[in-house]
Each structure stands twice: as structure tokens, then as C-alpha cells.
Amino acid sequence: MFTVTIRDHVMIAHSLRGEVFGPAQRLHGATYVVDAGFAGPELDADGILVDIGRATDVVREVLDRLRYRNLDNEDLVAGQNSTTEVLARWVADRLAERAAGGDLGPGGQALAGIEVTLHESHVARASYQRAL
């Protein structure tokens, strides 16, 4: 199995509802350093899993929906908290849609899975891994 992983980042504001979050219930924010990994069993005739230029563009476009926004005002994850876990899944699901829609090129449609990791600091991160 091959995996190609691209790093980008996004800066957002949000608050989290629920006593478990303590002071993070207040409006605050985060830089998420995002590792978007694309996995598949075969390379194409050029020797690549996916066109890394297209993949970089698609990751940036997906993150643009979050970029410099207060997620409390965005209708992204209806009714749910925008935790690191929830956002990792949201990014992975958007990338999966884009891959299925052909935006990653023909290689993108042969992918087996996607794993998205959001690093919220140097000491905490969350990932979501899904099949395609």
C-alpha cells in the first residue's frame, strides 16, 4: 500500500459546548496543521499514486471553507461541536467527495482510503481514517 501525504494549515475561531471542555467553552481559536494522506495499492503509468499538484490544490480549497473563520457562525457540522476529531472527519469526507468527483484526476478515483490528521498544538492531534 502506498500513501502520499500533503501538509497545509488553517486558522479558525470557535467555542465548544459542554462542561467537559472547561475553559475551551469560551470563544478561542486554533491553528490546525493538517496532514492529508491519500492511500492506494497501485501507481499509475507515471509512477505516482495521485497528482500531487492537484491534491495540494484540492486540500487548500477544502481548507478555504474554514480559513480565517469563526466556525460558530458556519453551517459545517450541523449541531455538533467543531472539535478536532469532528473537523478531521469533515476534511476527510470533503476530500473523499472531491476524489470521487474526479478532482484528483484518474489516480484519485483508484484510491483506497484517506487519513486526515489535525495537529492542534505540539502536544495534541486528532486523526480520521476512512475508506473510499
Residues that bind a second copy (CB under 8 A): 1-9, 11-14, 16-18, 20-24, 26-33, 43, 46-49, 51-53, 67-70, 77, 80-86, 88-89, 105, 120-130
Whole-number minimum distance, CB 4 to a second copy, in Å?
5
By beta-carbon proximity to a second copy, the closer residue of 81 and 98 is 81
As a whole number of Å, the end-to-end CA separation of the chain is 14
Residue 100: CB minimum distance to a second copy, A = 20
Q: Using the minimum distance from each CB to a second copy, give the nearer residue, 12 or 95.
A: 12
- Closest distance to a second copy from the beta carbon of 97 (Å): 19
The amino acid that residue 92 corresponds to is A
Q: Closest CB to a second copy among 5 and 109?
A: 5
Output phi, psi for 33, to 5 deg.
-85, 120
Integer angstrom CA distances of residue 86 from 11, 73, 127, 129: 16, 16, 9, 12
Helix/strand/coil (H, E, C) string of 44-93?
Answer: CCCCCCCCHHHHHHHHHHHHHCCCCEEHHHCCCCCCCCCCHHHHHHHHHH
CB of 30 to a second copy, least distance (A): 5
By C-beta, is 89 or 98 nearer to a second copy? Answer: 89
